[in-house]
Amino acid sequence: MARGSEEKNSLLIVEDEADMLDYLTLGLNEEYEVLTAENGHEGLAKALEYMPDLIVTDIMMPLMNGFELARELKTNMRTSHIPIIMLTAKDSVESQIEGFDLGADDYITKPFHMELLESRVKNLLKTRSLLREKFILEFDINGAKLAEDAVEREFMNSALRVVKEHMLDYEFSPEDFAKLLGMSLRSLQRKLKAVVDRSPARFIAEIRMSEAARLLANSTLSVTEITYRIGCGDSGNFARLFRQFYKQSPSQYRTTRQAK
């Protein structure tokens, strides 16, 4: 989800106690776009539908508790990147360890001051943003450098594999991409934005241009043949797109690379 300068981060609050839900909503909705859910089942459904930037969840809830919700979110490729703050009346070390083991990013014991929660939310969002920027800088579209988190690494490997398997298909679309990953287009858009700051169309184009650059540098295939190999449709469109990525025409790039 691309953000304008005025667009707020989105938070999902999952809390079954009405008074606490109102307190959290009133305390956070001035700075954030707040979504709410009254139990873990509803929270999971809303997380999958809206892909919030962060989730605040109670632990003791009916139908699905906070531990179960965290497990579902952190093992799902669509939502594994979303930071989770757990709220609980239990202050035992065992409960905190269980929460962290399931992927919770922070843990706050009730009662608490709203300022503490606001600070934790800001810090987690900032940390997530810094991690994303670091990953983007180190990201290799060919897969040499992927996310350290196992679920996100699985997602990136799957995304790369799907696009590469359909390299020859010039009609391969973001909708096709999402369907083959078992995701809605909106979920894929938000996941790629959160992980590598790319749209599905940009991600597909980048993989194609990366393969084109490899072929230009390491093969004797003509530009027309490479255009076909990467599913780009026609040589003119390929040349325009290649220049956007590499600031050179395909022929100039080949001459430069093969001269080294």
Q: What is the pLDDT of residue 101?
A: 73
Q: What is the pLDDT of residue 3?
A: 45
Q: What is the model's pTM?
A: 0.75
Contacts of 24 (CB under 8 A, 6+ apart): 13, 15, 56, 117
Measured over the CA atoms of residue 71, residue 74, residue 76 and residue 79, the dihedral's sign is: positive
**Most distant pair of Cα atoms in the chain: their distance:** 70
- Count of positions (residues) in the chain: 260
- Domains located in the chain, CATH noted: 10-135 (3.40.50.2300), 142-258 (1.10.10.60)
CB 227 within 8 Å of CB 238: yes
Nearest to 94 by CA among 67, 58, 133, 120: 67
Nearest to 17 by CA among 49, 51, 61: 61
Q: What is the pLDDT of residue 5?
A: 42
Sites in the chain below the pLDDT cut of 70 = 1-6, 90-96, 99, 134-149, 259-260
Q: In angstroms, rounded to a whole number, what is the distance separating the alpha carbons of residues 101 and 191?
A: 23
Within 13 Å, how many C-alpha atoms sit on residue 165's CB side?
A: 10
CB 164 within 8 Å of CB 157: no
- Between the two ends of the chain, the Cα-to-Cα distance in Å is 40
